Amino acid sequence: MVWLLKSHRPTRVALLSAICGSRTNEARKWWNRPAPSSDSPCRQVDSRMLSEGALTGLKVVEFTDQVAGSFCARLLGDAGADVVKVEPLNGDRYRRNGPYPGGVPDPELSGLFLYLNSNKRGVTLDIESSKNRSAFLDLTSEADFLVVGQESGEVERLGLRRELLAAAHPELIVTSITPFGLIGPNSSYLGDELIAISAGGMAYATPGIPDKVGDPHLEPPLRSNTHMAGYLAGVQGAVASVAALLSRTIQGTGCEIDLSMQEAVAAVMPYELAHASYDEAKPRKPKVFGVMPNAYLPCQDGYVVVMAVMEAHWRNLMALADNPDWAELEVFSSGVERARNWDALEPLLLEWTMAHTGAEIAQLAQDKGIPCFPAYTVGQMVDSAHVTERNFMIDMEATGGQRFKLPGYPVRLEKTPWQLFRPAPKLGEHTAEVLDEWLGYSPEQILALGAVSA
């Protein structure tokens, strides 16, 4: 059986042939499809994928008003897919959110918008109007993916469920990212980032070790200062979309992906969920602080994170601190005892850490095999030599000459490395280009739509 499975595993050429072939009305399984000829479009796509991106040759239409959908589509674009972002005539709301270079509002220079929408082309359509909606549906009929990021009620009202789109395009993969999913008692509820984090349980799962809570009843829910729910759901959406693409090569048909932001948040908290399902929800004030030291400690220039939980780590750390007598006390004899008596141990450790900078402590500790690193501010991370050498932060230049940096892609693919194929689009920048290229619309047809076009 194992031999049979291995012998029927698709080759790269066969898989690409299936992906390309599934765009036809008579999609066939990869094992029945002949290998493409040298002048086949699929062969050309294979060559471009090797030089441009893993998903080059695939088309994505994005229609979203939240971070999750935009980030999902951006990840597909980062991998080389041709992503077309459809915006309303007044533009995506994150164009108006900033931050902006120099603090001057400019819808073309919002840092959040630029980050979420690089490697995309931009089209403006009012899909509430009959003409524009017809153009939107024409675009989806040419796409491999439709990424929808809306309230579930809007998805229904706008007719964006796959069951309605599949008649004209059975190979279409529809990735719908909504606050609570497309089904369930709360599916019609409105929601945003804060609601998703709160509904997923993460706001009350904070703070976590090594943070402390004095009185859990007085401690309000907490959230991180970023769109955590949106990015978590966006990653899950991109992964599910590619899995659906592989399924399509075998089944010959697309599918609908129903992704709940609430569940995307909850899915990354197995420790807390196991507590709740096995016994009772984990209290916000842990009785025993795990094993210590595993904490950020004050130092000369901020904080440093020290993880010396193994006995070898602890002995090496104490050697760096000149082996003080208190290190041999029974109350500090193990990681658990050090955790139980952390209120006594922490000030003793501070006598050493406050005599050094975070970088000094990290270097000393790493040389001794102790996991340790300064607790960077965002600015320190951006300017650090390590991040700079890895080219993670991408230099950008605005139309007015302002220069700034935005994060690149953290994954490095050996054969199809990430590239900044294009910056985020200006409002309506590619409307005419895409409608002509994808659909063959004439200039007169495009003008009749009344869509903004750069």
Gap between the Cα atoms of 394 and 406, Å rounded: 5
Considering just the CA atoms, what is the radius of gyration of the chain in Å? 26
Q: Looking at the structure, tell me whether residues 251 and 370 fall in a common domain.
A: no
Give the CATH number for residue 443: 3.40.50.10540
What tokens were used for 368? 């001794």
- Asked whether the beta carbons of 431 and 123 are under 8 A apart, the reply is yes
Residue finishing a domain among 352, 376, 400: 376
pLDDT of residue 175: 98
Q: Looking at the structure, tell me whether residues 251 and 355 fall in a common domain.
A: no
Specify if 279 maps to a domain. no
Q: Looking at the structure, tell me whether residues 133 and 218 fall in a common domain.
A: yes
Q: How many CB atoms lie within 10 A of CB 59?
A: 20
Phi, psi at residue 371, to the nearest 5°? -60, 125
Q: CB neighbours of 360 closer than 8 A, spacing ≥ 6?
A: none
Give the sign of the dihedral formed by CA 408, CA 411, CA 304, CA 207.
positive
Burial bucket for residue 146 (CB in 10 Å: 0-12, 13-18, 19+): buried
Gap between the Cα atoms of 376 and 339, Å rounded: 24
Residue finishing a domain among 353, 376, 399: 376
Confidence (pTM):
0.84
pLDDT of residue 357: 97
Gap between the Cα atoms of 420 and 394, Å rounded: 9
Gap between the Cα atoms of 434 and 446, Å rounded: 10
Specify if 47 maps to a domain. no
Specify if 176 maps to a domain. yes
List the beta bridge partners of residue 260.
178
Name the 3-class secondary structure at 229: helix
Digitized pLDDT (tens) for each residue of the chain, 454 residues in all: 333 333 334 444 444 444 444 443 333 333 233 333 334 333 333 334 335 789 999 999 999 999 999 999 999 999 999 999 999 999 999 999 988 888 889 999 899 999 999 999 999 999 999 999 999 999 999 999 999 999 999 999 999 999 999 999 999 999 999 999 999 999 999 999 999 999 998 888 877 767 777 777 777 888 888 999 999 999 999 999 999 999 999 999 999 999 999 999 999 988 788 877 887 776 666 555 578 999 999 999 999 999 999 999 999 999 999 999 999 999 999 999 999 999 999 999 999 999 999 999 999 999 999 999 999 999 999 999 999 999 999 887 766 677 788 888 888 888 888 888 888 999 999 999 999 999 999 999 999 998 655 4
Q: Looking at the structure, tell me whether residues 242 and 336 fall in a common domain.
A: no
Q: Looking at the structure, tell me whether residues 317 and 358 fall in a common domain.
A: yes
Q: Looking at the structure, tell me whether residues 262 and 310 fall in a common domain.
A: no
Give the sign of the dihedral formed by CA 20, CA 22, CA 23, CA 26.
positive
Structural domain tally of the chain?
A: 2
Specify if 311 maps to a domain. yes
Give the CATH number for residue 351: 3.30.1540.10
Residue finishing a domain among 376, 400, 435: 376
Provide the domain limits for residue 163. 52-268+426-449
Q: Looking at the structure, tell me whether residues 198 and 92 fall in a common domain.
A: yes
Q: Looking at the structure, tell me whether residues 264 and 345 fall in a common domain.
A: no
pLDDT of residue 52: 75
Angle subtended at Cα 117 by Cα 114 and Cα 121, rounded to the nearest 5 degrees: 120
